[in-house]
A and B are shown apart, each in its own frame.
Chain A
Amino acid sequence: MLKIDNLHAEIGGKEILKGLSLELNAGEVHAIMGPNGAGKSTLSYVLGGRPGYEVTAGSVSYNGEDLLAMDPHERAAAGFFLGFQYPVEIPGVSNVQFLREALNSQRRVRGEEPLSGGEFLKLAKEKAALLKLDMEMLKRFVNVGFSGGEKKRNEMVQMGILDPRLAVLDETDSGLDIDALKVVGEGINAIMRQPDKAVLLITHYQRLLDYVKPDYVHILAGGRIVKSGGADLALRLEEEGYDEVMAA
């Protein structure tokens, strides 16, 4: 589904990704872990097409298409979802309006009929309940006045409504308390653990992986994947730390 090959990327003239390669197939959950400054967030933004992140070499193929040639909104319509580490506040635009516009924009690109207001609200209620987010929050302005945990749950509600094929979740677990972590973990499983979908979890900690069991774990350091393994690699990292595991 996603094939990253020898990806080099820089921001402000500083090279952050230095030959990163990674392949995800449908039905798989991959986790990327790594020390601060390794390039984890840069990877997520490059995949999401954020302006300012320049790819200098390498390629990213998504379902056989050149992901890097697509505009951010085209990536979304093609089923790519980026869960933000710091979800953005948009004063004056309600969540409901934002998400309905987003979903219907995607549907139009895919040649599907837009959802009516009633149909959309039904879907939104269902996904908000899944993530235990009060429906009232969805009527408020996008992320304005939300706590850190509410913003992350709101990201997952968005993911549930938009129903992507590939989700890259950048530190979705940060800012969550233990109960919210469980809710979010179960939400990710419910929405994304499907044979035709794939997930790339970017995280600092093992704890989210207790709920969302990865099939593969990769260590990102110095802009490259330096080690890959199964779920046990994350446990070892938690116990031994990056230096020890990478040296082994």
Chain B
Amino acid sequence: MSHMPTIHDEEWRYADFTALETVPEAQVTGWDEIAVAPGEVLARTFVLDGTVPDVQRLRVTLGEGARAEIFAVNAASAYARLEIEVTLAPQSHFEFGGVLIGGADVTREFVTRTIHAEPEATSNQTVRAVHWGTASGNYLGRIDVARHAQKTDAAQDFKGLLLEKGASANAKPELEIFADDVKCAHGATVGQLDEMARYYMASRGIAPDVANHLLIRAFLADALAALGDEAEQERLFDLALAALGDAA
């Protein structure tokens, strides 16, 4: 019997099922699993820029005081989904920064599940989505805080930028909090490029395509701000902005 997800599975509700059919089941339902020893740091970057449908899933278990610092650019030209599940131990931290960017009739998504299983752990997810054409950028971010996971400090922030009518962004923050002494901040907004900023730039001589580039880079900045490795940060910016091409 198949375990492939269906549209009735909440976590797959925005997925492109036609594309998903072409992805091997093991890839859709299986996990890459990593256990991070106490005090250690897992630093990973993902670039999804393929031309065929792709699903990648990473499941991380953090030891006490460990950190997972994961950054991703999803600029694929076919359906692409990255799922990250992290289970936190005391004093551990999960940082996720993601950029979804692209046009055409393509769905790009990030899914995170942050499990605060123990007290005094922190987590932060920052996702920026820029889409045009009839593309769709989705972020499903679930945060579970167990009953005894007091002093949890979790934050999640999504911003979508739609460059053209027809593009869309879906944000689905999902917080299940069973402890009472916790901080869980989340925000989601979707908007367009600031026309007045574009005009101001033009009035100083900056051509519209260059102005868009500067504004979109600024928009994306928060997603990669926590990436300490500057060369890697620059590489991800370049990949994201290259996807922009002459779209904007």
Contact = CB atoms under 8 A, between A and B. Distances in A.
Given A91-B218, A93-B218, A105-B210, A50 B199 contact: yes
Contacts of A51: 195, 199
A217 interface: no
Nearest to B218: A92
A105 B214 contact: no
Interface in B54-105: none
Contact of A93 (B195, B199, B203, B214): B214
Interface range, B side = 20 to 34
Among A72, A84, A91, A105, the most chain B Cβ lie within 10 Å of the Cβ of: A72
A162 B204 contact: yes
A99 B199 CA distance: 14
B202 A72 contact: yes
Contact of A158 (B199, B204, B210, B218): B204
Nearest to B220: A92
A106 B196 contact: no
A12 to B, nearest CB: 15
Is chain B's binding surface mostly helix, strand, loop or mixed? helix
Contacts of B214: 93, 97-98, 101
Contacts of A101: 206, 210, 214
Interface string A44-87: 00001111000000000000000000011101110000101001
B201 interface: yes
B215 interface: yes
A225 to B, nearest CB: 24
Contact of B202 (A76, A103, A142): A76
B210 A90 contact: no
B208 interface: yes
Interface string B194-233: 1111011111111110100011011101000000000000
A248 interface: no
Nearest to A80: B203
Contacts of A76: 202-205
Contact of A72 (B203, B215, B219): B203
A163 to B, nearest CB: 11
Interface range, A side = 20 to 34
Contact of A92 (B201, B203, B208, B217): B217
Among B197, B205, B206, the most chain A Cβ lie within 10 Å of the Cβ of: B205
A191 to B, nearest CB: 15
Among B196, B206, B218, the most chain A Cβ lie within 10 Å of the Cβ of: B206
A99 B204 CA distance: 8
A137 interface: no
B218 A73 contact: no
B203 A48 contact: yes
A247 interface: no
B218 A90 contact: yes
Contacts of B207: 73, 105
A11 interface: no
Nearest to A45: B199
A88 B196 contact: yes
Interface string A90-115: 11110001110111011001000000
A98 B202 contact: no
B196 to A, nearest CB: 5
Given A73-B205, A88-B197, A101-B206, 8 more contacts: A49-B202, A71-B208, A73-B206, A84-B203, A90-B197, A90-B215, A93-B215, A98-B204
A-B residue pairs, 6 tightest by C-beta = A92-B218, A76-B205, A72-B202, A102-B204, A88-B200, A106-B205
27 contacts: A48-B203, A49-B202, A50-B199, A71-B202, A72-B199, A72-B203, A73-B201, A73-B204, A73-B208, A84-B200, A87-B200, A89-B197, A92-B215, A92-B219, A93-B218, A98-B201, A98-B204, A101-B206, A101-B210, A102-B204, A102-B206, A103-B205, A105-B206, A106-B205, A142-B200, A158-B204, A162-B205
